[in-house]
A and B are shown apart, each in its own frame.
Chain A
Amino acid sequence: MKEPIIQVNNLTAKYGEKVVLSDISVDIYPEEITVILGPSGCGKSTFLKNILRLNQPAEGSVNVFGDNITIMEEDEYEKVLRKIGVLFQNGALLNSIDIFENLSIPLEQHTSLPSELMEKIIRIKLELVNLSHAINLKPSELSGGMRKRAALARAIVLDPEILFCDEPSAGLDPLTSAALDELILNLKNQLKMTVIIVTHELASIHRIADKIIFLDQGKMLFYGTVDEAKNSGIEEIVEFFRVGSF
């Protein structure tokens, strides 16, 4: 069996005195799509932020590529970041610059590639998300779905080993959402990426999830495959898969 690519050990997260996540331990394996789901306010995004070190956990540790990132020095953490791509909920593209420049930022920051090769890489990544025509446009000139795809292109521009997506389908129509899922599935299958997705779109979960992490009220109720989840006998999970929403 492969070594886990991310190990979360006894993670507890707090906002002030309020405990948002309580004693969560889970191993995430490479080349799998792991979906984090749960009702609103259960701590999904906080969980993701703690894995990414955007928030510092109150207790516990997070090992990424075998190293504890919660106590890591900044320069070491930067090396980890080179192997991670993040697709934020609203895309988080920089509005003041065009799509080409948005994608060139990580390449300029983390590589010393010559500009002619950099341009080719950017165009390849935009073609992967079907946005070649938008290379000179600014994010404000794109639709919501296009912005998400452009943000995905930025997230994969460094060929990350792990891709994090925070609610990629949020605000998208079912067709665009399905196309985005297809893209994420291709990234996993063709580029052997590990993908961690926060979502509660049932259709999306059925399409792409290898494993699910089910959170409720800051606790992890379940970790396993979709089929295992459906047969887990845990009321909240069974109900979610029956009704399709929380």
Chain B
Amino acid sequence: MARHRSTSEIINFDEGVIKPIGLLNKATVPQLWMSFKAVSDLTNYKHIDLSEVHSVDSAGVVFIEEVASELIKSNSLLAEKSFDDVIVNGSDEVLNSIKIFSQRDLPERPKRVRTGYFERLGESFLLGKSGVIEILTLSSEVFYWSIAALWKKKGARKGSLIQQAGLIGVDSVPIIFLLSFIIGLILSLQSAVQLRLFGADIFVADLITVSMLREMGPMMTAIIVAGRSGSSIASEIATMKVTEELDALKMMAINPIRYVVVPKFHAITFCMPLLVIISIIVGIFGGIIVAVSYLGISPSAFYGQMVKALSMKDLLITLLKSTIFAWAIVIIGSFYGFRVEGGAEGVGKATTLSVVASIFAVIVIDVIFSLIYIA
């Protein structure tokens, strides 16, 4: 005779009968299951006696039927028997619970369909192809509506341009201010050490001015705006799609691109060059601080050298570049927002993808403009 005792339940393995005692529920079944699994030879057991089971829940029923199934499988004498022959002496209440939660008539669990590697590869190719078409279509619609909106005032929310300019532009100023100042300080410090070796201290002004004007100003601003506003655009549109707000707009004969994207497009087109100019000025100011305090260059000398390094062509290209960055951020954010599938998870994915893609696009555009600067 084997008697397995645990903290809250008992199970008897005696004279060919497995006899659980007391409650068979989610709290007691794990221990009972372990006790049952510890029995090496099941061939001697022919019945599960439920006479001392007071109540069972769904876990208890599963336990009873699993034990019955194991007994039938391991004992050739029970081969022709059914669960009802093996499970004996249950009270009406226990038998009723078994009836409700029985797994005997459970259908086969459907198999998970797993797609193969090449199938996934093909799918991603097709998805990429449709993505290119969609982003081109979206871009054309955004450009069309952004121009059409200058005349057609219907279908837009009043004050949305000002509101978006505040969110995308004004709210970004502090972080752009701080980061550009730090970037200016770092650039200046790093280059000052090297330039001092050659006695070319004064050229720190050229370096800071050109790098902030051509690269660091627009690039840092674009990355910050992509992180802040690009993600917010993607998540806002994605949430609107998931909650059927976009469908509601369509049903009110309002073009979602006109209503949702165009105000952001106008706002970012207007704000981005201003943010870039702020970034350039603040970055150069950071450079001046290092030049004056570390290299001992006078502010007027720095200013004179800076003016020599500045060129109108660079400024115009920078402003054009920053505008292209801005458009890329809005269109990519909107693209991922409109393309969302699923619920909360889809919104999260769309947001992440939009930020990654925006920053990637900003860098690629920057490479193209670098060639234009040189030309």
Chain A: residues with CB nearer than 8 A to chain B? 95-96, 107, 110-114, 116-117, 119-121, 123-125, 127-128, 132-133, 135-136, 138-140, 158-159, 190-191
Contact = CB atoms under 8 A, between A and B. Distances in A.
A110 B110 CA distance: 27
B62 A127 contact: no
B26 A120 contact: no
Contacts, number: 79
Given A95-B342, A119-B109, 17 more contacts: A95-B343, A96-B342, A96-B345, A107-B26, A110-B26, A111-B30, A117-B63, A124-B62, A124-B101, A124-B102, A125-B58, A132-B109, A133-B107, A135-B109, A138-B342, A190-B100, A191-B100
A135 B107 CA distance: 11
B82 interface: no
A124 B58 contact: yes
Contacts of B107: 127, 132-133
Q: Which secondary structure dominates where chain A touches chain B? A: helix
B271 interface: no
A67 to B, nearest CB: 19
21 contacts: A95-B342, A96-B344, A110-B26, A111-B30, A117-B59, A117-B63, A120-B62, A120-B103, A121-B59, A121-B62, A124-B102, A124-B106, A127-B107, A128-B100, A135-B109, A135-B110, A136-B112, A139-B343, A140-B341, A159-B57, A190-B100
B16 to A, nearest CB: 24
A113 B26 contact: yes
Interface residues of B, number: 31
Interface string B62-96: 11011000000000000000000000000000001
A125 B61 CA distance: 12
B154 to A, nearest CB: 32
A53 B342 CA distance: 30
A84 B30 CA distance: 21
Contact of B342 (A110, A113, A140): A140
A136 B112 CA distance: 6
The winner among B27, B33, B58, B341 for most chain A CB atoms within 10 A is B58
B350 interface: no
B30 A114 contact: yes
Contacts of B291: none
